Amino acid sequence: MRWRAAVITVSDSRARGETTHDPSGDLIVSRLAELPADITDRRLVPDEIEAIRAALRAVLVGAHLVVLSGGTGLGPRDVTPQAISPLLDYEIPGMAEAMRREGLRSTPHAMLSRQVVGVSQGRLVIALPGSPRAVDQGLKALWKALPHALLLLAGDTAHGATSPADVGHLDPS
């Protein structure tokens, strides 16, 4: 069995149909295939708190992992952290810090990003920036710890399971 993942792209211009190209979302899907993960849901929402929350609530049921892209900057429409934070049971600050640290290797602007990582209903939720480069850097920073984090959330606190099938409580099927 493979992990189940959902991808949510937060973008006003894409939600309005100004462009159908979603390079950051495509990159997330491609990288998660290597986890391995099956994409159970992929959504596009505008930079609006209620739209982001509704999408997150909807995809949590069928996923072990939810990755959002976009809306983590300082602009007035960048509201992803405000939208998802109230839905998190707790944050995982070390993962967000690791993403910013990786980004700082290539640009000082990485310190302005408001990536958030946390757990909601036993599922790992990762909010990445919208640019493909920042998505790549963020996933790179988390990659080695990501499988272990998912196993822990799935109930493998003894660190012996090797897949979601080895632990029972988080199987959303």
Tens-digit pLDDT profile for residues 15-69: 888 888 899 999 999 999 999 999 999 999 999 999 999 999 999 999 999 999 9
Residue 158's pLDDT band (boundaries 50, 70, 90)?
confident
| 3 state DSSP class of 98 | helix
Instruction: Look up residue 105 and give its DSSP letter.
Output: T
Structural domains in the chain, sorted by start: 3-166 (3.40.980.10)
**pLDDT tens readout for residues 100-136:** 999 999 999 999 999 999 999 999 999 999 999 999 9
Q: How far is CA 76 from CA 3, 49, 82, 152, in A?
A: 35, 12, 12, 36
* Separation of alpha carbons 49 and 81, rounded Å: 9
Residue 144, pLDDT above cutoff 70: yes
* Separation of alpha carbons 22 and 32, rounded Å: 16
Cα 50 versus chain centre, distance: 18
Which pLDDT score is estimated for 44? 95
* Separation of alpha carbons 71 and 52, rounded Å: 10
DSSP run (H or E) holding 51: helix 49-60
Q: Is the dihedral of CA 58, 60, 63, 67 positive or negative?
A: positive
**pLDDT tens readout for residues 75-99:** 999 999 999 999 999 999 999 999 9
For the chain, the maximum distance between any two Cα atoms, rounded to a whole number of angstroms, is 49
Which residues, other chains included, contact 151 with Cβ-Cβ below 8 Å and sequence gap of 6+? 159, 161, 167
70 touches 80 (CB < 8 A)? yes
* Separation of alpha carbons 27 and 64, rounded Å: 19
